């Protein structure tokens, strides 16, 4: 079957890792036509928009996209293009596997966790009020009067909406995912003891949904602070984690660290009938254009994309070739070598070449 996929190279190291993933996916022999669409810095230069309408239309039409990372400045400036894509297309489930591959430097072995992060609400909703603005001051006075609590006048305010609808949708997705991929346990992670009406609601809904899966999937609850410690001490005790947006973002990086770092952590953003696949890592601007960074996270995002397209054979071919190259540790980037200055490290292009060669010679 022929697939049409939107390819968004992104910026920073995005174009390099996207090109590597694109070549490796093509090497599996699947019939794929790429429609290149811009977002981020290059899009701004060429079209005057960070996220051109044509890019969103391309994803809506093709239903599947592979996306490189895109830079978001900290503090002022524009809001994240990545978050804008997730919101515009209602890609409500962010699925990030953290799986150990032999050969990778890591404190742990045999880790196989999946993080399922709510992608549409929480402090990522982008409802913010800037310090010093009149509307912020008015809001501060209204809230102070309403809840009889002091908020300093020179505060900035971010709003954390968590709805019953979105909580049920993500928790149900997590349970269905667990059934589909033969997972045993779901752990719901919140700070419900402190944020009773937001995280508390998420937890209440999770408990309700869990009843529908009783005797099929084990259900557990944890607080996010304790979970950060448990994951470092006993990661093997966990299987699928389902979380509100911000905790999901933070624990995804923690879990990437458990299996060897950001260079190998893939991800997907899933909606009702479309999906965007991207690495967990960002655009690492200091490595831009150096042919240095690890393409594994983007290639594994491609593996997830192939599985979504029901191209399991191609997904297995690509994952096995990558597994070989990782375990042999010869044609790998600097971050996968025993020391970062190892002279035998290869570049992004050469690591992709080695994977492609392995696919062709199997
Ligand atoms: P980052 O993930 O870009 O990089 C942090 C560090 O991780 C790098 O300096 C590097 O040491 C390492 N790293 C990341 N990717 C690697 C790879 N493929 N191979 C080897 N090492 C790798 O995080 P950051 O520096 O916090 O963010 C840079 C920019 O990316 C920011 O503007 C941020 O907002 C953006 N970002 C984008 C996305 C996305 O597009 N989905 C995700 C996260 C961050």
Asked whether 84 lines ligand 1 (CB < 6 A), one says no
Question: Does residue 247 belong to any structural domain of this protein?
Answer: yes
Is it the case that residue 164 has pLDDT exceeding 70? yes
Identify whether residues 27 and 47 lie together within a single domain. Answer: yes
Q: How far apart are CA 336 and CA 321, in angstroms?
A: 16
Q: Which residue has the tokens 């997590």?
A: 174
Q: Identify the band that residue 78 occupies on the pLDDT scale cut at 50, 70 and 90.
A: low
Strand blocks (E) in 68-127: 93-99, 112-118
Give 316-341 as a DSSP string: HHHHHHHHHHHHH-SS--GGGSSSTT
Are both 82 and 200 inside the same structural domain?
no
d(CA 207, CA 242): 12
Say how many domains are in the chain. 3
pLDDT in tens, 87-130: 999 999 999 999 999 999 898 999 999 999 999 999 988 899 99
Same domain, 248 and 281: no
As annotated, the active-site residues are 124, 191, 225, 249
Residue 362 in domain: yes
Per residue in 16-70, pLDDT (tens digit) is 999 999 999 999 999 999 999 999 888 888 998 889 999 999 999 999 999 999 9
> Rounded mean pLDDT of 264-280?
96
Q: Side-chain half-sphere of 285: how many Cα atoms within 13 Å?
A: 6
CB of 291 shorter than 6 A to ligand 1: no
Cβ atoms of residues 94 and 34 within 8 Å: no
Best probe residue, ligand 1, of 43, 68, 69 (max atoms within 8 Å of C-beta): 69
Q: Which residue owns the Cα nearest ligand 1 atom 7?
A: 262
Quick check: 77 pLDDT over 60? no
Both 209 and 306 in one domain: the answer is no
- What 3 state SS string does 252-277 have? HHHHHHHCCCHHHCEEEEECCCCEEE
- Measured in Å, residue 255 CA sits from the centre of ligand 1 at 15
Whole-number pLDDT of residue 75: 54
Q: Average pLDDT, whole number, for the chain? A: 95
Closest ligand 1 atom to 284 CA = 3
pLDDT tens string 184-197: 999 999 999 999 99
Name the residue at shortest CA distance from atom 40 of ligand 1. 69
Q: Are residues 189 and 46 in the same domain?
A: no
Q: How many residues can be counted in the chain?
A: 362
Nearest CA to ligand 1 atom 30: 282
pLDDT computed for residue 302 by the predictor: 98
Answer yes or no: is pLDDT of 76 > 60.
no
pLDDT exceeds 80 at position 249: yes
Closest CA to 174 of 198, 142, 205: 205
Q: Do 115 and 215 sit in the same domain of this protein? A: yes
Same domain for 116 and 217, yes or no, is yes
Ligand 1 atom closest to the CA of 278, numbered from 1: 41
Q: Same domain for 154 and 208?
A: no
pLDDT in tens, 336-358: 998 889 999 999 999 999 999 99
Q: Which domain holds residue 128?
A: 124-160
Q: What is the CA radius of gyration of the chain?
A: 21
C-alpha of residue 281 to centroid of ligand 1, in Å:
4
| Number of H-type helices and E-type strands within the chain | 12, 12
| pLDDT exceeds 90 at position 71 | no
8 Å CB contact between 136 and 156: yes
pLDDT at residue 28, as a whole number: 97
Co-location of 206 and 326 in the same domain: no
Q: Which CATH number does the domain housing residue 180 bear? A: 3.40.50
Average pLDDT on 198-204 reads 98
pTM for this one?
0.93
Is the distance from the beta carbon of residue 284 to the nearest atom of ligand 1 less than 6 Å? yes
- 15 Cα–ligand 1 center, Å: 13
Instruction: Give the span between the Cα atoms of 359 and 362, in whole angstroms.
Output: 6
Of 258, 277, 298, the residue at which a domain comes to its end is 258
Among protein residues, the one whose CA lies closest to atom 10 of ligand 1: 284
Q: Is the CB–ligand 1 distance for residue 6 below 6 Å?
A: no
Task: For residue 102, tell me if it sits in a domain.
Answer: no
For residues 289 and 213, membership in a common domain is answered with no
CATH number of the domain at 37, please: 3.40.718.10
């Amino acid at each position: 079957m022929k697939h049409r996929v939107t390819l968004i190279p992104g910026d920073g190291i995005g174009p390099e890792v996207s090109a590597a993933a694109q070549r490796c996916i093509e090497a599996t022999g699947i019939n794929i036509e790429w429609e290149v669409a811009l977002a981020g810095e290059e899009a701004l230069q060429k079209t005057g928009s960070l996220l051109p309408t044509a890019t969103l239309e391309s994803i809506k039409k093709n239903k599947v996209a592979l996306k490189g990372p895109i830079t978001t400045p900290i503090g002022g400036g524009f809001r994240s293009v990545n978050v804008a894509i997730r919101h515009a297309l209602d890609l409500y489930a962010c699925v990030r596997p953290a799986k150990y591959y032999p050969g990778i430097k890591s404190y742990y072995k045999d880790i196989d966790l999946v993080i399922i992060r709510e992608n549409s609400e929480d402090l990522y909703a982008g409802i913010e009020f800037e310090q010093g603005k009149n509307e912020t001051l008015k809001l501060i006075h209204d809230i102070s009067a309403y809840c009889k609590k002091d908020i300093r006048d020179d505060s900035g305010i971010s709003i954390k909406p968590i709805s019953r609808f979105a909580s049920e949708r993500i928790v149900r997705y997590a349970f269905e995912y667990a059934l589909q991929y033969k997972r045993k346990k779901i752990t719901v992670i919140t700070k419900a003891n402190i944020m009773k009406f937001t995280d508390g609601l998420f937890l209440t809904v999770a408990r309700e949904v869990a009843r529908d899966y009783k005797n099929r999937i084990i259900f557990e609850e944890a607080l996010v602070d304790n979970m950060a410690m448990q994951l470092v001490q006993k990661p093997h005790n966990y299987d699928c984690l389902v979380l509100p947006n911000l905790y999901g973002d933070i624990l995804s990086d923690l879990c990437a660290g458990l299996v060897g770092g950001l260079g190998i952590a893939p991800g997907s953003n899933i909606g009702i009938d479309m999906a965007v696949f991207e690495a967990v890592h960002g655009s690492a601007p200091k490595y831009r254009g150096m042919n240095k960074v690890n393409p594994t996270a983007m290639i594994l995002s491609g593996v997830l994309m192939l599985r979504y397209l029901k191209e399991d054979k191609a997904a297995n071919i690509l994952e096995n070739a990558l597994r070989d190259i990782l375990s042999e540790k010869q044609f790998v980037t600097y971050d996968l070598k025993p020391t970062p200055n190892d002279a035998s490290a290869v570049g992004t292009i050469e690591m992709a070449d080695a994977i492609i060669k392995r696919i062709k010679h199997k």
